[in-house]
Amino acid sequence: MSLYYVQKYLYQLNRDPAVQGAYRSDPVAAVTSFGRDGQVATLTDEEIVALTAPDIGLLYHLGVNGQILMHFAAFHGIEWTDYLQRMRQGLRDHGPVREGVYALTTDL
């Protein structure tokens, strides 16, 4: 898993019109080519699917920071209450957050 690179991509997508245009044009190509200009950024198939679906719940489960994720949701026209519901559904479907600041560090 490459949480750092998923978040780095989302950060750039949230702020750079050129990255946004490439994503709108061909999300799979935009995501899979990320980091190819000299950077080492290997995203897993699961991460690529989550980024291109977009699967807010899975991205949250993977550990994407909520501040970054909410801008990605807004980019896709996902309303606030739907965004929160998708995060909750992601926890139900995939389990607790795997890593990052929201990772579960104790048993339920």
Residue-wise pLDDT for 28-67, tens only, equals 999 988 865 555 567 889 999 999 999 999 999 999 999 9
Judged against a pLDDT cut of 80, whether residue 27 lies above it is answered with yes
In the chain, where the domains are located: 3-94
Q: In the prediction, which pLDDT does 43 show?
A: 87
Query: Would the pLDDT of 82 be above 90?
Result: yes
Instruction: Tell me how far apart the alpha carbons of residues 9 and 42 are, in angstroms, rounded to a whole number.
Output: 11
Residue 6 has pLDDT above 90, yes or no: yes
For residue 99, is pLDDT > 70? yes
Q: pTM for the full model?
A: 0.87
Q: Which CATH architecture has domain 3-94?
A: Orthogonal Bundle (1.10)
Neighbours of 41 (CB within 10 A): 16
C-alpha to C-alpha distance for 87 and 54, rounded to whole angstroms: 12
